[in-house]
A and B are shown apart, each in its own frame.
Chain A
Amino acid sequence: MSLLPQPLPLGPRRGFAAGPALVTGATGLLAMAGLVAVGDADPLAAFILALPVAGVAAIQAFRARGEAARIKAEVAETHAEVAAGQLSLPYTAVLNALPDPVMVISAHEPDDLTGRRFVMVNLAGREVLKIQREAGLLVTAIRDPDVLEAVDEALFGGLEGEALYEPGGSQERIFRVYARPLGMGGDGGRLALLVLHDETDIRRVERMRADFLANASHELRTPLASLSGFIETLRGHARADEGAREKFLGIMHVQAERMSRLIDDLMSLSRIELNEHVPPSEDVDLVAAVMDVVDAITPLAREKGVSLEVNLPPRGSVTAVGDRDQVVQVAQNLVDNAMKYSPAGGVVRIALEDGLGIEAAMAARMDQAARLSLLTPDHGPDRFAALSVTDSGAGMAREHLPRLTERFYRVEGQKSGEKSGTGLGLAIVKHIMNRHRGGLMVESAPGRGAIFTAYFPRVEQARGRREPGNPDKSDDVAKVS
């Protein structure tokens, strides 16, 4: 005899064909959940109340191939069935079409904490929680103790619970989890519903505001203090001194420019951070993007006496899924940095390698040097295109490497020339690369310069991947029909 309850016959593969058992089960689920939800206007209630509407919409999409008249008749029929209480909506399709992860959990013994099982997960849920099976032990999908506690309260206390849940991964995401009791299931076990609502955006906006204020107020203070100092001097004893005035105005101009660059960079960093969990969708010709940057920097390099060694494949041969402006910004920031730290007579090398596996993309490009991954993409079988920029500057000791992408971090004793940077360049690069699901490596040794390598997922692979919260609907409709 089995110690564990058999999973309920729910799941997209069995879908509609599971027949009356599924329909009554789902009806019960819906009715119970509806009862629980009525009376408080939380997102779950909204979601549950919206289910029948979504169902009709799904039916429409589902039968889009038929003639309009027939669809109309069928929808009218469905309405009638809904009204008559003989529900026969494609619940599996409805649940799978929902952007929010939804899970049904079943349990028998209150003391058997590990024995909670999920008996139904929709597509979004499988995507976010990275589960392949349709049913299994709950702890193999979610381990978070707060969530498990909320589930227990819903199962055995009959209480509605909430918890925050972070699924982990390079792109931070945060969900609010709602647990709702569903009463007894058909096999004598208790059921609970778990809905995950994505709150990443709200949290990001909150944090961005706080970070922006903290950074801006701190970093803008120095140039501002220097500006007001010069204004005071100009109003006082330097008022009549023509030479001093010109000199001070020159310095003030530089400081004001620095402030405006700083604000620009802070703004663009904030913008990138807000969208970090939303992957870009356009195709970008990486070679063309890098070429544009090289063309723009060439006059400056000639002026400074730095030679550029560019090694790129032909235009149009390397395409990544990306945001063109952001890809250009990555190349721009890396090349700018290399230029800044290379002395006159030095060389800056720019190279693009294509079709690398993750290990090759992260491999050492400089012998006997300290090497650190500043950003590593989540586990995946992708191929990458790697842009590496090598400078011939003073290089850095290995203890500086972990802090390079920290905002406003400066390696001590390094002069970046008269046009000093904002200290945000590499932070921006890191966030852009993270949004692109790419990675960033640094290698350096004192006296031998540094190599920065940014690698982007290649177009073919990145395409096929579905993102959480945006499940491919055509796919699951096909599965049900």
Chain B
Amino acid sequence: MNEHIVKAYEDELNMLTAECARMGGLTEAAVADALEAVVRRDQQTADLVVGRDERLDVLQADIERKAIRMIALRQPLANDLRRTVAAMKIANNLERVGDLAKNIAKRTIVIIESDPMVPLTRSIERMGRLVVTRLKEVLDAYTSSDLERAMTVWSRDDEVDEHYNSLFRELLTYMMADPRTITACAHLLFVAKNLERIGDHATNIAEIIHYEITGDEAIAAERPKTDPLQR
């Protein structure tokens, strides 16, 4: 009988990870669709992203409840405790990413009203692709418990920042050249900022994976950072 109980416990832990992975899939799709909506000027896709955000909130609450139940009933220790806590933290980060994706989608409506700005959209698309890849990589690392892969995402966060800074300058140039574009550009600036923050959440998740696997939390302070304001 004992053996069965342990097995169920292991299953529950696996389910928690799987639940996070499923939520990750939904989040990835939300970010990719929001980006698509902005780039292709597609209101329908944007509405879809906004409508689906609720599912993420529900899932996050669900994962949190399950994790708490797990801690209360099974009192996991060491490795198992870290896995439970990590699932809870990752779900939190994913929920935030979902909100940011929703925010990007909401801005589509204003951006569509202005004339298309091809080079800018291209830059947004490039940055967005990079962020989507980061998110995918880090979730792959999570489902396969691959520390090295998670650390690759972690150490390359500054690439996203470089793209953001470059885009920032580009947007300023546009707005100065033609004040009629200011409304749309301001929204694009927020889109870029949201993408940059999604990148930060991917890095956070990489740190959580590091904690889950090694138990070491000190890593957060060491991240290479480029600060655009101190140059």
Contact = CB atoms under 8 A, between A and B. Distances in A.
Interface residues of B, number: 40
Given A113-B22, A143-B25, A3 B162 contact: no
Contacts of B136: 168
Of the listed residues B8, B12, B21, the one surrounded by the most CB atoms of chain A closer than 10 A to its CB is B21
Nearest to B52: A145
A376 B130 CA distance: 11
A403 B166 contact: yes
Contact of B22 (A1, A114, A379): A114
- Contact-residue bracket for chain A: 20 to 34
Interface string A45-89: 000000000000000000000000000000000000000000000
A376 to B, nearest CB: 7
B26 interface: yes
A143 B138 CA distance: 13
A402 B126 contact: yes
A373 interface: yes
A14 interface: no
B15 A114 contact: yes
Nearest to B132: A168
B149 A143 contact: no
Contacts of A168: 133, 136-137, 140
Nearest to B173: A412
A358 to B, nearest CB: 9
B18 A148 contact: no
A168 B140 CA distance: 10
A148 B22 contact: yes
A400 B170 CA distance: 9
A398 B162 contact: yes
Contact of B162 (A142, A143, A145, A372): A372
B167 to A, nearest CB: 8
Interface string A137-172: 101111111101000000000000000000010000
B139 A143 contact: yes
Interface in B129-156: 133, 136-137, 139-140, 143-144, 148-149, 152, 156
Contact of B21 (A3, A140, A370): A140
Interface string B2-16: 001001100110110
Given A402-B126, A402-B163, A139 B21 contact: yes
Contacts of B140: 130, 168
A2 B5 CA distance: 8
A400 B21 contact: no
B166 A140 contact: no
Contacts, number: 90
Question: Mostly helix, strand, loop or mixed at chain B's interface?
Answer: helix
Nearest to A374: B159
A210 to B, nearest CB: 13
A323 B55 CA distance: 48
B166 to A, nearest CB: 4
A41 interface: no
B170 to A, nearest CB: 8
A248 B8 CA distance: 84
B123 A137 contact: no
B29 interface: yes
B165 A398 contact: yes
B210 to A, nearest CB: 16
A143 to B, nearest CB: 3
A1 B9 CA distance: 11
B18 A140 contact: yes
A401 B17 contact: no
B196 interface: no
Interface in A160-219: 168
A200 B11 CA distance: 37
B21 A143 contact: yes
Interface string B183-221: 000000000000000000000000000000000000000
A421 B147 CA distance: 44
B25 A148 contact: yes
Contacts of B24: 143
Contacts of B4: 1-2
Interface of B: 4, 7-8, 11-12, 14-15, 17-19, 21-22, 24-26, 28-29, 122-123, 126-127, 133, 136-137, 139-140, 143-144, 148-149, 152, 156, 159, 162-163, 165-167, 169-170
9 contacts: A114-B22, A137-B15, A139-B21, A139-B143, A143-B28, A144-B29, A379-B148, A402-B127, A403-B126
Interface of A: 1-4, 113-115, 130, 132, 137, 139-146, 148, 168, 370, 372-373, 376, 379, 398-403, 406
